[in-house]
Amino acid sequence: MSIPSPPSNLDPHHVGDDDARDRTRVAAIVLAGSHAWRRQSIESFLPRPVLPVGNQPLIAHPLLWLAAGGVDHAIICTNGLSGVIRQHLATVTDLPALTYFEDETPRGPAGSAADAMSRTDGGPFVIIEHSTIPELDLRRLVAEHRASGAAATIVVQPRNLDGRGPFGTAVPVGIYVFERRALASVPNLGYQDIKEMLLRRLHLAGEQIRIHPAESWCYRVIDARSYLNVNHAVVDRACAGQVAAEDPTTGLPSSPGASISAHSTSRIEPGALVIGPLVLGAHSVLKADSVVIGPTAIGRQTTVHRGAVVSRSVVWDRCDILDGAFVNQSVVVSDISVPAGTRLTESVRVPSAPPKGDPSRDSVTMDQSELAREEPGPAPE
């Protein structure tokens, strides 16, 4: 994801004095606590921080944004998921250096951030929720925060994507900048929230709290529907400027006009049709006479067979979409075989039970409300 280049005079590492001795490093904290939305959901199969978004772990997107903005080290605060997150980030390049902080007791987002802060130098602290896909200039955010003298900066955007709504409906996007003194005010014990507790405490203490409108829409994964929508947005961006894959027999684009970001080991057979943006993972195959309509993300070692259609969906790893199957605006988790002729619309295809040992390829379709009407779960830490 590209970050606009800031004016040359904006340096996120600079306090305001040209003397290098007076420079401090911007510290970054990524809040990666995870709570399942409901008992039978896609988070039963992968924790939210590592859900694939555009074929990368969700948490990789804010980390790459931090690195692109000049941050060279980030602390990931989690509640028992550090091993899983490490594993899924192992193949992601261009990340900042990472350390992990485990929240052994429910300290909440402000408590976890304050505990992590106490173990590092530097400041101010950019704090971002792992479920946010940032789309703003980090260097500008930090420079304007420093220039303001505020104890805290909150990034906000309109409640609705179209920007319509009554005055005062801007909402936080899950990105903050805090001075060290602000985080140091967090009590050492108990659950501590950012919005309801830390910001209120700073306000009552007379500290300045600055509002920073996001320059572009920042998507957030808060439920299954938003997970699908975030994938659509990320695939669109990942494929911008990409060209269609070539038919090896003719040297011509196999899907004229399509934008495809395909791994070098993937294969699109002659006769397969791709319409719209597609991210295609390693060792995956689109068979002849298959159709993929974007924005769609297909993971690793997955095959879309003859006559099958995958439209505006997310398909994870090691799946088979068999002959004539129709998958539309749906999520298919890993190790699933969608039977020939099956029709899935606004569904989540999962094994009949969460995986234990060898994954089962017998699958059931969850109620469509999982995508269409799911209630958001607890806010991510």
Beta bridge partners of 23: none
Encoded tokens for 93: 């390049």
The Cα–Cα gap between 50 and 193 comes to: 23
Q: Which domains does the chain have, with CATH numbers?
A: 20-222 (3.90.550.10), 230-372 (2.160.10.10)
Predicted local distance difference test score (pLDDT) of residue 157: 92
Q: What is the model's pLDDT at position 228?
A: 94
Exposure letters 200-230 (e unless 16+ CB within 10 A, then b)? ebbeeeebebbebebeebbbbbbbbbbbbbb
For the full predicted model, state whether its pTM sits above 0.95: no
For residue 262, CA distances in Å to 51, 192, 278, 281, 347 come to: 19, 43, 8, 6, 25
Residues in the chain with pLDDT < 70? 1-24, 34-41, 161-168, 241-258, 352-381
**Both structure tokens of 300:** 């690793």
Distance CA 220, CA 268 (A): 32
The count of C-alpha atoms lying within 13 angstroms of the C-alpha of 190, restricted to the half-sphere facing its C-beta, is: 6
At 103 the pLDDT is 84
What secondary structure, in 3-state letters, does the chain show?
Answer: CCCCCCCCCCCCCCCCCCCHHHCCCCEEEEECCCCCCCCCCHHHCCCHHHCEECCEECCHHHHHHHHHCCCCEEEEEECCCHHHHHHHHCCCCCCCEEEEEECCCCCHHHHHHHHHHCCCCCCCEEEEECCEECCCCHHHHHHHHHHHCCCEEEEEECCCCCCCCCCCCCEEEEEEEECHHHHHCCCCCCCCCHHHHHHHHHHHCCCCEEEEECCCCCEECCCHHHHHHHHHHHHHHHHCCCCCCECCCCCCECCCCCCEEECCCCEECCCCEEECCEEECCCCEECCCCEEECCEEECCCCEECCCCEEECCEECCCCEECCCCEEECCEECCCCEECCCCEEECCEEEECCCCCCCCCCCEEECCCHHHHCCCCCCCCC
Count of CB atoms situated within 10 Å of the CB of 38: 16
pLDDT at site 245 = 52
Beta carbons of 336 and 361 less than 8 angstroms apart = yes
How far apart (Å, rounded) are the C-alpha atoms in residues 12 and 26? 7
